[in-house]
Structures are given as C-alpha cells and as structure tokens.
Amino acid sequence: MEGDAVAVANEPLHELVGTLDRHVAKGNAWLHRPCRVRTLENQAVLMHHKAREMLVAQRTQLINALRGHLAEIGVIAAQGLKNARELARVVLAEGDETIPACVRAALAPLVRQLHALDQEIARSDRTIATMTRGDEMARRLMTIPVTIPGLGPVTASAIAASVQDVSAFSGPREFAAFLGLTPRQNSSGGKERLGRVSKMGNRYLRKLLVVAPHAVLYHRKPHEDALGKETHADQALQGCRRRARQ
C-alpha cells in the first residue's frame, strides 16, 4: 500500500522529467544540426551590403552635420535626403548671399564628400541589382507569387545571401524569430504574457523588412489603390483606439 502511494505521488514528477528530457533532446538536436558553409561568393555579397550600409550611415552623418551647422546661422531645412541636396546646392552657389563666404568655405568639404558618397552608394546599388538578377532565390522573392511592396533588389539580395537554406526553418514563425520580430515571452504558471519584439536576430534584415514597407505605406497615403485604402483604414482604426483610451 505504501509503495503504491509513493508511485502515485511520483507519477507527475516522472511526466515532468520526461517532458524536460524531450525538450533537452530537441534543443541538442537543433544545436548540432548540420549547417552550410558560406561560399566566397556569398560572403562577397554580404560584404557589398555591409559596405553600402556603412556608406549610407556616413551620408546620414554628413547630412546631420550640414543641417546642424547651417541652423547655427539661421538657415533651416526640413529633414530628408532631397532637402539635404538642396542645402548642398545652396552651399556651393557662389552668387547666393544667404550663406556667408566664410561659412561656405568651411562647409564646402562636407558637400563634396556628400556628392562622392552619393556616387558610391549609387554604384553599390547598381552592383547589388546586377547580383540580384543572377540569383534565382532573390528573383523569386521579387516576383513570386506577386511583387511585395517595399521588397526591392537590396532586400531580396540580403535575404538570399543571409538565408542560404530555407529548409532550416520549420515555418514562418521560426523565420520571424530568426529576424527578431517575434514577441518576447514572459509566461509562467500557464499564463501567457507577450512583450515587445525580441530584436535578438539579424538586425540588418530586420531593418530592411521594417523600414522599407513603412516608407511604402507613408508614400501611399494620398493614393486610392488597395494599399492606400488599407492604410487609411488602419489609420482610422488607430485613431478610434486612441480616442477610446482617452
């Protein structure tokens, strides 16, 4: 009798240990899964993307410096690459009296460097577009089943170079976790608590997949196509939610 009682009492513990063993085995299998070694060509594609990202960051730094210095003398310009190019044109304009000659001489090297970076970024974009046309997976991302708004040669090439074997992911959620777009889990006691996105994955891909569609939706606001109407509906829904919280 006493032994039977001990066996009954330990039965949930045995089930828990068995569950933990299964999870540990699954984790070990995932850690020891075979992985493909990157080829030299694949590494070169990723280097093109990293070099382009560095050039874009340097251009942004120059634009911010140019706007900040001109703001000190009362020349204000809106944010954005188009407005920065207009500032650069004003700085190099000899007959424009808006900017003093001494300030123009000080900022001229920044403007020349900005033009050089524009040329290098454009050259890098052309190189990546050429590589995308020669990559079957990148072409499929851009054309099958339909063209995804915001997914151009840069994003398609980055995904194809970073994810060589899509069969390594069991489904879309696992790929989203690889990108760091799944919510952080804070669950306990059978109660599920989901936090913000984890941001634990590939930072560069996550930026491309978030910023590009955001830009598409922003510029689709005045349009009346399906995407523009969906954007208007989302904005109306968000407005209703804000008013409900007030």
Does residue 22 fall inside a structural domain?
no
- Which range has the top average pLDDT, 105-119, 138-152, 159-173? 105-119
Assess whether 122 and 192 both reside in one domain: no
The span from the CA of 159 to the CA of 162, in Å, is 5
Assess whether 74 and 119 both reside in one domain: yes
Assess whether 74 and 106 both reside in one domain: yes
Q: Tell me: the pLDDT tens digits for 164-218? A: 777 777 777 788 878 887 787 777 777 777 777 777 778 888 888 887 777 777 7
Cis bond before residue 183 (omega within 30° of 0): no
Residue 65 C-alpha from the chain's centroid: 25
Angle at CA of residue 62, ends 58 and 64, nearest 5°: 115
Domain that holds residue 238: 203-246
Assess whether 221 and 187 both reside in one domain: no
pLDDT of amino acid 32: 55
Assess whether 59 and 110 both reside in one domain: yes
Does residue 155 fall inside a structural domain?
no
Altogether, the residues listed in the chain come to a count of 246
pLDDT of amino acid 117: 94
Q: What are phi and psi of 185, to 5 degrees?
A: -90, 125
pLDDT of amino acid 173: 79
Assess whether 217 and 184 both reside in one domain: no
Q: pTM for this one?
A: 0.69
Assess whether 68 and 100 both reside in one domain: yes
Angle at CA of residue 28, ends 26 and 29, nearest 5°: 65
Does residue 147 fall inside a structural domain?
no
H or E element, residue 196: strand 194-197
Does residue 2 fall inside a structural domain?
no
Does residue 31 fall inside a structural domain?
no
Assess whether 180 and 96 both reside in one domain: no
Q: Tell me: the pLDDT tens digits for 118-127? A: 999 999 999 9
Q: What does the block give as tokens for 88? A: 């650069």
Assess whether 176 and 93 both reside in one domain: no
Does residue 64 fall inside a structural domain?
yes
Burial track 174-213 (b if 16+ CB lie within 10 A, e otherwise): ebbbbbbbbeeeeeeeeeeeeeebeeebbeebbebbeebe
Burial group, residue 38, by CB count within 10 angstroms (0-12, 13-18, 19+): middle
Q: What does the block give as tokens for 20? A: 């933990």
Assess whether 194 and 208 both reside in one domain: no
Assess whether 242 and 220 both reside in one domain: yes
How many domains does the structure of the chain reveal? 3
Mean pLDDT of 9-33: 56
Does residue 146 fall inside a structural domain?
no
Does residue 11 fall inside a structural domain?
no
Assess whether 223 and 197 both reside in one domain: no
